[in-house]
């Protein structure tokens, strides 16, 4: 491996961390008082099934029409969709980026939020699932 290869690798991984986050980092940022806007880009049915507490629900096709009125431009935005098998969060992050937002994609999405045993909001209130030992230490 040459030093150029090493520099390229550093640039690649630093770039990923600039544009991606994960459920644990969102929780840590919130606990540290970092102000950010979390946006769920799934369908109304998906959002109703359960969502990250405090997340705004703006489906992909509504971002262009609703973002300016509902999402502060001066705060970082974290976008999520179902999970790693869904690229809706990538599409959502791209749409927010095109509108000038400082945006990150939450890798793992709602699936990994739930699997890590983090609190979710449903129509019945707030709840937690058991921690999946493959994703987090209990």
Active-site residue list: 81
How far apart CA 75 and CA 101 sit, in angstroms, is 8
DSSP character string of 47-80: HHH-B-TT-EE--GGGHHHHHHHHS-TTS-EEEE
The Cα 41–Cα 62 span in angstroms is 9
Helix axes 63-70, 88-98, angle to 10 degrees: 60
C-beta separation of 120 from 126 below 8 A: yes
CB contact set of 8 (below 8 Å; sequence gap of 6+) = none
């Amino acid at each position: 491996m040459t030093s150029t290869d090493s520099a390229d690798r550093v640039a690649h991984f630093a770039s990923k961390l600039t544009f991606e986050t994960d459920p644990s980092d969102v929780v840590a940022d919130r606990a540290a008082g970092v102000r950010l806007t979390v946006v769920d880009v799934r369908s109304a049915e998906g959002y109703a099934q359960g969502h990250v507490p405090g997340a705004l629900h703006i489906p992909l096709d509504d971002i262009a029409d609703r973002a300016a009125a509902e999402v502060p431009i001066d705060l970082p935005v974290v976008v999520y969709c179902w999970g790693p098998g869904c690229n809706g969060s990538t599409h959502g992050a791209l749409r927010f980026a095109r509108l000038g937002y400082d945006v990150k994609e939450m890798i793992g999405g709602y699936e990994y939020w739930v699997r890590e045993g983090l609190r979710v909001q449903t129509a019945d209130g707030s709840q937690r699932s058991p921690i999946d030992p493959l994703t987090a230490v209990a």
